[in-house]
Amino acid sequence: MEKKKVKVGFFSLTCCEGCEFAVLDLEEKLLKAFDYLEIVESRVLMEKIKPAAVKLDIAFVEGSVISKHDLDKLNYIREKTDFLVALGSCAAIAGINGIRNSLPEGIQERMRQKAITPVKEKAYPLSSFVKVDYILNGCSVNELEFLDFLNKVLHGVIPKLEEVPVCFECKLKGNACLLLKGILCLGPVTYAGCGALCPSQNAQCIGCRGFTKDANFDSLDNLFKEMKQSKKERFNLFTYFNPLPKELSVLKEEK
């Protein structure tokens, strides 16, 4: 690893700040990482932030863009950052904030009117506005994946997003398949990296790490249909964290 410390900042847009806390869960391992990192900005990690205009090597940005304030902040971070990482599903795919994007237009309109500050028409992931160099997806982000990312970039390796579904890791762990038990699960179409956290606890995968490029939505939805699930159930599951895939536009109920 380089002797010169890498300048790192953590930033939050609209979100619960849970991803930054997930990183804190690394405890001693994070302290060890501090040998190589200089935290320049972080509301959670620092007592006092000195919002210096220094150039950052890596910025971790959590949260979605839902307002002009978010967008200004994002543009400011992008400008002074070398390598920008979208941290967590809000930043990567709009995540929880994005639920409203799939709601009927009338409800969306009312939500926008009732918001305390002026909000944008939709909730957006960072990539809608700026170049994102890497994505660490998940709600919340997987701390071991975060550590692996750090370990790689500190050695000059640019990590690759692996095109692997949750099922791959789920089977590696020797779990029984939820789909075979008759439980809806988005494992086959969702990016792995979480160690199949939910399916290992007998809980369905709800797609928090985003859909894979190789996803076979039609076939999975047909399987759900065979499991006698209503259009609404299927729609709600597919749009929990992600925008509705265009292959499944039939699920959208026009109101």
193 binds another protein (CB under 8 A): no
Using CB under 8 A, which residues numbered 212 to 231 contact another protein? 213-214, 216, 219-220, 222-223
Q: Which of 174, 246, 249, 255 binds another protein (CB under 8 A)?
A: 174
What is the distance of C-alpha 74 from the center of its chain?
16
Phi–psi pair at 154, nearest 5 degrees: -65, -25
Determine the length of the chain. Answer: 255
How far are the Cα atoms of 58, 110, 207 from residue 126, in angstroms, in the given order? 15, 24, 18
Does the N-terminal peptide bond of residue 140 adopt cis geometry, omega within 30 degrees of 0?
A: yes
**How far apart are alpha carbons 111 and 105 in whole angstroms?**
10
Q: How far is the CB of 33 from another protein (least distance, A)?
A: 8
Q: Is 53 in the site for another protein (CB under 8 A)?
A: no
Assess 207 for contact with another protein (CB under 8 A).
no
Binding another protein (rule: CB under 8 A), the pick from 168, 195, 233, 244 is 168
Q: For the sheet containing 6-12, what is the strand order? A: 37-41, 6-12, 56-62, 81-87, 134-136
Question: Is the C-alpha dihedral spanning 81, 132, 197, 174 positive or negative?
Answer: negative
Pick the stretch among 26-34, 60-68, 78-86, 236-244 that binds another protein (CB under 8 A). Answer: 26-34
Comparing CB distances to another protein, the nearer of 74 and 194 is 194
Contact pick of 105, 114, 117, 176 for another protein (by CB under 8 A) = 176
- Per CB under 8 A, the list member of 127, 200, 204, 229 interacting with another protein is 200
Binding residues among 108-167 for another protein as defined by CB under 8 A: 147, 151-152, 155-158, 160, 162-165, 167
Asked if 175 is part of the footprint of another protein (rule: CB under 8 A), the reply reads: yes
d(CA 185, CA 23): 27
Q: How far apart are CA 176 and CA 188, in angstroms?
A: 14
Site residues, another protein (CB under 8 A): 1, 29, 32-33, 35, 147, 151-152, 155-158, 160, 162-165, 167-168, 171-172, 174-177, 179-181, 187-189, 199-200, 202, 213-214, 216, 219-220, 222-223
